[in-house]
A and B are shown apart, each in its own frame.
Chain A
Amino acid sequence: MNSEITKTIDDINQEKYKYGFVTDIVSESPKKGLDENTIKFISNKKNEPDWMLEWRLNAYRKWLKMKKPIWSNLNIPNIDYQDIYYYSAPKGFEEKPKDLSEVDPKLIETYNKLGIPLAEQKVLAGVAVDAVFDSVSVATTYKGELEKLGIIFCSISEAIKTHPELIKKYLGSVIPTGDHSFSALNSAVFTDGSFVYIPENVKCPIELSTYFRINAEDTGQFERTLIIADKGSYVSYLEGCTAPQRDSNQLHAANVELIALDDAEIKYSTIQNWYPGDEEGKGGIYNFVTKRGLCKGKNSKISWTQVETGSAITWKYPSCILKGDDSIGEFYSVAITNNYQQADTGTKMTHIGKNTKSKIISKGISLGKSQNTYRGNVSFLRKADKSRNYTQCDSLLVGNNCGAHTIPYIESKNSSALVEHEASTSKINEEQLYYCRQRGLSHEEAVSLIVNGFCKQVLQELPMEFAVEAQKLVSISLEGSVG
Chain B
Amino acid sequence: MYIDKEYLENYKNLLFSDFEEVREERDNVLKKFVPIYFDKKNNESIKNVDNNKLANLNYNYKKPADVDSAIKNSNNSYTIKLFNGKCDNYKDENLEIKNIDSNDSKFFFNNKLANTSDFLIDLNSLFLNCGVKIIVNKNKNIDIKILNIVLEDGLTIFQKNLIICEEGSKVNLVEEYNNQNSSIHNIYNVFEVKKKSVLNQFVIQNNSKNHELYLSSYASCMKSSEYDQKVYNFSNGYVRNYHYSELVEENSTVSHIGFFFINSDNISDNKTYVRHLAANCQSNQIYKGVLTDKSKANYFSNTYVDKIAQKTEGYQLSKGILLSKDSTYFSKPELRIFADDVKCSHGSTIGPVDENAIFYLRSRGISKNTAIKMIISSFINDDLENISNEQIKSIVTKNLNEFLDNIV
Indicate whether A and B interact: yes
What are some 15 contacts across the A-B interface (CB < 8 A)? A397-B339, A404-B337, A405-B335, A409-B330, A410-B333, A412-B350, A413-B328, A418-B350, A418-B352, A419-B348, A419-B349, A421-B349, A423-B345, A423-B347, A427-B341
CB-based nearest A residue for B302: A407
Provide the residues of chain A in CB contact with B331, threshold 8 Å: 410-411
Q: A418-B351, A420-B349 are in contact. Are A412 and B328 (CB under 8 A)?
A: yes
Q: Is the CB of A423 within 8 A of B325?
A: no
Considering the complex, which residues of chain A in the window 394-433 have a beta carbon less than 8 Å from any beta carbon of chain B?
Answer: 395, 397-427
Q: A410-B348, A412-B328 are in contact. Are A405 and B337 (CB under 8 A)?
A: yes
Q: Shortest distance in angstroms between A376's beta carbon and chain B's nearest beta carbon?
A: 10
Q: A412-B322, A412-B350, A414-B322 are in contact. Are A407 and B332 (CB under 8 A)?
A: yes
CA distance A417 to B349 in the complex (A): 10
Provide the residues of chain A in CB contact with B351, threshold 8 Å: 412, 417-420
A132 within 8 A of B: no
CB-based nearest B residue for A391: B348
Considering the complex, which residues of chain B in the window 190-205 have a beta carbon less than 8 Å from any beta carbon of chain A?
Answer: none
B340 within 8 A of A: yes
B334 within 8 A of A: yes
Considering the complex, which residues of chain A in the window 413-468 have a beta carbon less than 8 Å from any beta carbon of chain B?
Answer: 413-427
Q: A415-B322, A422-B345 are in contact. Are A408 and B332 (CB under 8 A)?
A: yes
Provide the residues of chain A in CB contact with B327, threshold 8 Å: 413, 415
B42 within 8 A of A: yes
Q: Is the CB of B333 within 8 A of A403?
A: no
- Identify the interface centre among B42, B324, B338, B350: most chain A CB within 10 Å of its CB: B350
Considering the complex, which residues of chain A in the window 208-222 have a beta carbon less than 8 Å from any beta carbon of chain B?
Answer: none
Partner of A70, one of B42, B330, B334, B347: B42
Contact with A along B290-331 (1 / 0, CB 8 A): 000000000000000001001000000000101111011111
B343 within 8 A of A: yes
CB-based nearest A residue for B355: A416
B342 within 8 A of A: yes
Contact with A along B336-370 (1 / 0, CB 8 A): 11111111111111111000000000000000000
Partner of A403, one of B329, B334, B337, B347: B337
Partner of A382, one of B325, B334, B343, B350: B325
Q: Is the CB of B347 within 8 A of A412?
A: no
- The dominant DSSP class at the A interface is strand
Q: Is the CB of B324 within 8 A of A426?
A: no
Partner of B340, one of A399, A419, A420, A421: A399
CA distance A70 to B331 in the complex (A): 21
CA distance A399 to B42 in the complex (A): 31
Q: Shortest distance in angstroms between A332's beta carbon and chain B's nearest beta carbon?
A: 20
CB-based nearest B residue for A419: B350
Provide the residues of chain A in CB contact with B345, threshold 8 Å: 422-425
Provide the residues of chain A in CB contact with B347, threshold 8 Å: 420-423
The 9 closest A-B pairs by CB, nearest first: A418-B351, A415-B322, A397-B340, A421-B348, A424-B345, A406-B335, A427-B340, A412-B350, A411-B330
Q: A70-B42, A400-B339, A400-B340 are in contact. Are A406 and B334 (CB under 8 A)?
A: yes
Provide the residues of chain B in CB contact with A405, threshold 8 Å: 334-337
CA distance A428 to B335 in the complex (A): 17
Q: Shortest distance in angstroms between A33's beta carbon and chain B's nearest beta carbon?
A: 29
Contact with B along A362-393 (1 / 0, CB 8 A): 00000000000000000000100000000000
CA distance A400 to B305 in the complex (A): 12
Provide the residues of chain A in CB contact with B320, threshold 8 Å: 412
CB-based nearest B residue for A425: B344
Q: Is the CB of B335 within 8 A of A423?
A: yes
Q: A424-B345, A425-B345 are in contact. Are A416 and B307 (CB under 8 A)?
A: no
CB-based nearest B residue for A418: B351
CA distance A403 to B307 in the complex (A): 9
CB-based nearest B residue for A371: B338
Provide the residues of chain B in CB contact with A425, threshold 8 Å: 335, 337, 342-345
Q: Shortest distance in angstroms between B284's beta carbon and chain A's nearest beta carbon?
A: 15
CB-based nearest B residue for A405: B336
CB-based nearest A residue for B320: A412
Q: Other than A397-B339, A406-B334, A423-B347, give 20 A-B pairs with Cβ distance below 8 A.
A: A395-B337, A400-B307, A401-B307, A403-B338, A405-B334, A405-B337, A408-B333, A411-B328, A412-B320, A412-B322, A412-B328, A415-B324, A415-B325, A415-B327, A419-B350, A421-B347, A422-B345, A425-B345, A426-B342, A426-B343
Q: Shortest distance in angstroms between B244's beta carbon and chain A's nearest beta carbon?
A: 18
CB-based nearest B residue for A73: B336
Q: Is the CB of B332 within 8 A of A427?
A: no
Q: Shortest distance in angstroms between B35's beta carbon and chain A's nearest beta carbon?
A: 13
CA distance A415 to B295 in the complex (A): 12
Provide the residues of chain A in CB contact with B332, threshold 8 Å: 407-410
Provide the residues of chain B in CB contact with A401, threshold 8 Å: 307
Provide the residues of chain B in CB contact with A395, threshold 8 Å: 335, 337
CB-based nearest A residue for B347: A422
Q: Is the CB of B344 within 8 A of A424?
A: yes
- Identify the interface centre among B323, B329, B337, B343: most chain A CB within 10 Å of its CB: B337
CA distance A399 to B339 in the complex (A): 8
CB-based nearest A residue for B322: A415
